Amino acid sequence: MSLANVMTVTLRLPTRTLFEGRAQRLFATAFNGAFGMLPNHTDFVTALVPSVLILTDGTGGELFFGIDEGLLVKTGHQVDIAIRRGVQGDSLDTLNDTIQKAFVEVDEEERVARSALSRLEANIVRRFGDLRKPAL
């Protein structure tokens, strides 16, 4: 593997790509603690915890992402990160508000979906119970 000044980072959600580009540095948090990564870092895989992921782009600017649990895979100069939920913030100061708005909205949608699913399951159980009743 040749030495490089940047690495290609792809941050994927289940339905779309949140970020794809070059980075000089990456800072993330795994189950065993926070870590930093440079382009020539050794290859590895780790599980990420809900935290802030910071990328330093090719121009030296910092990009901030609020992420949910996920998986980071580094191979060569390519870093692939798959996360369940994530948002990009303009700055570290405003990231918390962005996370609250995005994740609370998703949590409410999930709550409504779980409630509808519970009603469907109860209806199916009730109908199966009706099938067991003997005809008079």
This prediction has a pTM of 0.71
In tens, the pLDDT along 26-57 reads 999 999 999 999 999 999 899 999 888 999 98
Give domain limits for the chain. 1-136
Pick the CATH number of 1-136 from 1.10.10.60, 2.60.40.10, 3.40.1390.30, 2.60.15.10: 2.60.15.10
The whole-angstrom separation of Cα 83 and Cα 67 is: 7
Write the DSSP assignment of 78-131 as a string of letters.
EEEEEESSEEEESSHHHHHHHHHHHHHHHHHHHHHHHHHHHHHHHHHHHHHHHH
Question: For position 106, what pLDDT does the model report?
Answer: 65
In tens, the pLDDT along 74-126 reads 999 999 999 988 888 877 767 677 666 766 666 667 777 778 888 888 888 88
